Amino acid sequence: MSKNFKDFGLRPESLRALDEAGYTLPTPIQERALPILLDGRDLIGVAETGTGKTLAFLLPIFQTLEPDRRDPQALVVCPTRELAIQVADEAERFGRHLGVRTVLAYGGTSSGEQKRRLGEGCDLVVGTPGRLLDFLSSAWLTVRRVRFVVLDEADRMLDMGFINDVDAILRKTPMSRQTMLFSATFPDEIRRLVDRYMLHPETVRMHRGTKVTRTVDHAFYPVAARQKQQLLAELLEREQPEKFLVFTATREGTSELALALRRRRWDVISLSSLLSQANRERALTTFRRGECRALVATDVAARGLDITDIDLVVNYDVPMQPEDYVHRIGRTGRAKRLGRAITLVTEDDERRARDIERLLGEPVPRLELEGFTYEPRANPRRRGGRDRRGGGEGGGGRGTGTGRRGGRKRESRAGGSRGRGTRSDPAAPPRRAGGESA
């Protein structure tokens, strides 16, 4: 039963703007989020880029907004200036008939004009964490009348090291606010925000369909951890992909692998949160235009990457969450082109590989590269460097460094120990992203 926008009791001004845009049917996330948000409840939205999240939060905000007040009534926190601008544009476009006044607050430019506009009074402030916090601290921005707070792409904010700023901003907003958080993944730091700042939130999760697209031919390649780079190099030699995407678990892994591939004369760039925003955008553009052949990235860094002509996706590291497998390999084989997806599965990844197969409801073919001299895989380690996506993406500050190193040495002699994360290990890994047990 697809609902029409008219069925949600939206304000006539909002409906008029939707109508002018030619939007009559809500997207799936809008359809599910609107009733919850219009009811005043907190919401966690899990959905991919391009699913219409912006209107999912803007329309409910507009519903009770009272234009002409001096102080802002809603605050939208975004990881990047580009996203902030997009949200503000959408707010202008759909809030036009209500007379919604939006002010942008992002860093990297002089703050004079932004301050001036804040001083004139506005209804909605959209910005990036650092600048928002600056304005809050210097009292250019007041949030005492804020009734809605949106954290857009929260995991990206975490990835970019903004989590403490976000926390500080939330702390300053009134308890009575309605809080909405959008994120594709839920590392511990995001969970902590949710626990601390959200009240009985409803979760709306949109999967793009769990099954792997028919146009993707995917396989697991079992390999010993120490041979991963070598196997990947050989595979690439054979496949000779035109344009490919390689996923690693950590940003350190990203640069390391990119370097290794470059040494083998692959024209690759790495997309890591260690890059400045400008450099990230540049890297993406280069890849999109086909000026380099491959991109090595973490899930978070590659979020929102809408590039359709990729013919090979490589999971250099098995994704932590089985759902991510589907998302990652969904980047190839689009628009009816046949895509390939290759996943390197080490001794430590077997359990996760099985989780993926369970999610898919069918086994993934396991292939061997002919002519490759395989070394035997070791017994599963208690933990490996790859087991720390949550921490690795988190911009540090969690003291995972010791854990990382500790895991490396002794484990090979841990002999009979199966099962990673055994508690006796003083350097036990941080909990898995998503807080799954087991």
Task: Give residues in contact with ligand ADP (CB under 6 A).
Answer: 23, 25-27, 30, 47, 49-55, 86
Identity of the residue, 64 or 86, whose beta carbon is nearer to ligand ADP in the bound complex: 86
Residue 403 contact, options Mg ion, ligand ADP, none, Cβ 5-8 Å cut-off depending on partner type? none
Shortest separation between residue 158's beta carbon and Mg ion, angstroms: 16
Residue 27 contact, options ligand ADP, Mg ion, none, Cβ 5-8 Å cut-off depending on partner type? ligand ADP
Identity of the residue, 55 or 312, whose beta carbon is nearer to ligand ADP in the bound complex: 55
Identity of the residue, 86 or 227, whose beta carbon is nearer to ligand ADP in the bound complex: 86
Q: Is 131 in the site for Mg ion (CB under 5 A)?
A: no
> Using CB atoms, what's the residue nearest to ligand ADP?
54
Burial classification of residue 150, based on how many CB atoms lie within 10 Å of its CB (0-12 exposed, 13-18 middle, 19 or more buried): buried
Residue 156 contact, options ligand ADP, Mg ion, none, Cβ 5-8 Å cut-off depending on partner type? none
Shortest separation between residue 284's beta carbon and ligand ADP, angstroms: 15
Identity of the residue, 76 or 294, whose beta carbon is nearer to ligand ADP in the bound complex: 76
Shortest separation between residue 204's beta carbon and Mg ion, angstroms: 14
Shortest separation between residue 344's beta carbon and ligand ADP, angstroms: 30
Identity of the residue, 104 or 231, whose beta carbon is nearer to Mg ion in the bound complex: 104
Identity of the residue, 304 or 421, whose beta carbon is nearer to Mg ion in the bound complex: 304
Residue 245 contact, options ligand ADP, Mg ion, none, Cβ 5-8 Å cut-off depending on partner type? none
Query: Among residue numbers 273 through 292, which ones bind Mg ion (CB under 5 A)?
Result: none
Residues 30-69 as x/- pattern, contact with Mg ion by CB under 5 A: -----------------------x----------------
Shortest separation between residue 27's beta carbon and ligand ADP, angstroms: 5
Identity of the residue, 85 or 369, whose beta carbon is nearer to Mg ion in the bound complex: 85
Per CB under 5 A, residues contacting Mg ion are 53
